[in-house]
Amino acid sequence: MAQTLYSHALRILTCAQCGAPVDASAGGGSVTCAYCHAVSHFTRRDESEDLSAAQAGRAAEISEQERYARLRQQDQQPPALPPQLAAWLVDGHLPTERVGEAERAWREARAEIAITPSFPVCERLYHLTVMLAPHLDERRRRATLETAIETLPDAGHRHVLRCSLAREAAKVGDLAAAEAWLAPVNPRPTDLEQDTAYRLAAATLACARHEPAKVAELLGFRRDDVPLENRSEVACWMLRIDALEKLGRAHDAHAEMDGLVRRWGRERIRAALAHHHPLELCRGSFAAAEATAAHAEQRARRAGDAAKLEQLDAQLKRLRPPLGSAIVNRLIVAGLLTFLVGSVWTCILSGPLEADPLFGLHARVVCPGVCADCEAPYHFVSWTTTTNNQSSSSTLNIYCSDAAGRVTDGYALSLAAVNEEPWLTRYEVRGGIWFVALTMYAVFYPLCLVFVVALRVRRTLRSRDQVARLKAERDALRAKLGHAAR
């Protein structure tokens, strides 16, 4: 295959002044930056120490059982980041708006390491490299990764970054370069982050070689088979699901992909698959999961539209009830209002205050029908009959006035009423307060009914626009549901 940008034979580093990628020689020397014209001096590339450590790692006597036990102890623990860098992340990733700031911090950390390679500074450069790599174009990504590898003194940091370069080489099909970058890497580390980085790179290489069985060996057949560092587990899952598809276990691949899409959504999984570009992973399982998710979303939308349609119908029914129901409701409301107004007027004004109902009009209409010489106004007489110092009954009588003036509003009238004088009986209004209340009810009911109807008309006029809007929305939903049903 033709040499790619990730070829191990190339050496691409970053300018120490501006950070632009520059081509350097494996033997070292001085290079002039084509962008800022600054001269950078590089030493010879030397991987001998890491190659020896990788060989020692392969020959380590630690058993896989013990190694997996150590890895599982570290599982589910997020990587410990410097507080400033951790504050930049959103859902574990560097947002685009922070890339420029992170690049400046990367160049500052590199310059500080040249002064003193203290661990906090080296740790900051390492994490910034991991965070920045996905946001850079291929040439700058290659330069940033290789420069960090040659700058950092910690073997664990170099291990993870070499795995990143091997993975990038495998994705573009440069298998020889991927193998070369993995050569100085320990394939059996006891650190979870280093182990995950190796598995991801080696599985990507196996996928590019069309070796799904090797991918399954590295990443397992089930999600929990292999402990993985949180930041890289989704990328590993995509490779493992792709391997399941190619091994003829499409049902398992589809079931797991369905679960991931339901949990995180199609866009997040599509972005996770895009990180493996140009490898095309999980074409069958993701297409099936997308179709299932689309159908589920469509059903949910239809259910939501149906529920909203019911709400609109209920709102319209409340705003425009059936004619019969509306009439009955208005009559009932008018009756209740009349009872309230009539009770207050009759019982409070006519009773305790002894004021003539309707300012004397009631008596002027009624009294001529009580007796020949009966006339307005009314006289109210109330008393309580007691037996053995206990109240037994209360009485309230209403009398019309007489032309001769015998019915007076005073003590004499009260005494005559209590003694039930025969002459006073002819002036008594039959039915008393109940008769007055009923007649007052008959007077107030039409007025209250007119008032209630006027309020309803005013409310109807005000709600006309609302009704039109709700009807338009309802009709649109009905048409939408009808179209979906077809």
- pLDDT for position 403: 83
DSSP 8-class letter at 355: P
Give yes or no: residues 236 and 367 share one domain.
Answer: no
Sign of CA dihedral 92, 93, 98, 102: positive
Task: Count CA within 13 A, CB hemisphere, residue 268.
Answer: 12
Give yes or no: residues 142 and 29 share one domain.
Answer: yes
Can you tell me the distance from the alpha carbon of 369 to that of 390, in angstroms, rounded to the nearest whole number? 38
Sign of CA dihedral 274, 280, 286, 290: positive
236-245: average pLDDT: 96
Q: Is residue 469 part of a domain?
A: no
Give yes or no: residues 82 and 230 share one domain.
Answer: yes
Give yes or no: residues 16 and 124 share one domain.
Answer: yes
Q: Is residue 393 part of a domain?
A: yes
Give yes or no: residues 216 and 331 share one domain.
Answer: no
Comparing 463 with 91, the larger pLDDT belongs to 91
Q: Is residue 477 part of a domain?
A: no
Domain boundary among 210, 243, 276: 243
Main-chain phi, psi angles of 22, to 5 degrees: -135, 150
Q: Is residue 204 part of a domain?
A: yes
Give yes or no: residues 238 and 334 share one domain.
Answer: no
- Give the range of the structural domain holding residue 396, as residue numbers without chain letter: 327-464
Q: How much of the chain, in percent, has pLDDT values that exceed 70?
A: 92
Give yes or no: residues 346 and 221 share one domain.
Answer: no
User: Total domain count for the chain?
Assistant: 2
Give yes or no: residues 143 and 40 share one domain.
Answer: yes
For the stretch 131-169, pLDDT in tens is 999 999 999 999 999 999 999 999 999 999 999 999 999
CB 192 within 8 A of CB 19: no
Judged against a pLDDT cut of 90, whether residue 440 lies above it is answered with no
Q: Is residue 293 part of a domain?
A: no
- pLDDT for position 350: 52
- pLDDT for position 340: 76
Three-point CA angle 242, 246, 250, nearest 5° = 80
Judged against a pLDDT cut of 60, whether residue 203 lies above it is answered with yes
Q: Is residue 26 part of a domain?
A: yes
Q: Is residue 41 part of a domain?
A: yes
**Residue closest to 115 by CA, chosen among 101, 125, 127:** 125
Domain boundary among 208, 226, 243: 243
Judged against a pLDDT cut of 70, whether residue 196 lies above it is answered with yes
- pLDDT for position 235: 94
CB 360 within 8 A of CB 419: no
pTM of the model: 0.68
Domain boundary among 226, 243, 260: 243
**CATH code of residue 176:** 1.25.40
Can you tell me the distance from the alpha carbon of 90 to that of 67, in angstroms, rounded to the nearest whole number? 32
Q: Is residue 427 part of a domain?
A: yes
Give yes or no: residues 220 and 332 share one domain.
Answer: no
Judged against a pLDDT cut of 70, whether residue 219 lies above it is answered with yes
Give yes or no: residues 105 and 236 share one domain.
Answer: yes
Give yes or no: residues 234 and 351 share one domain.
Answer: no
Give yes or no: residues 351 and 210 share one domain.
Answer: no
Confidence of residue 485 (pLDDT cuts 50, 70, 90): low
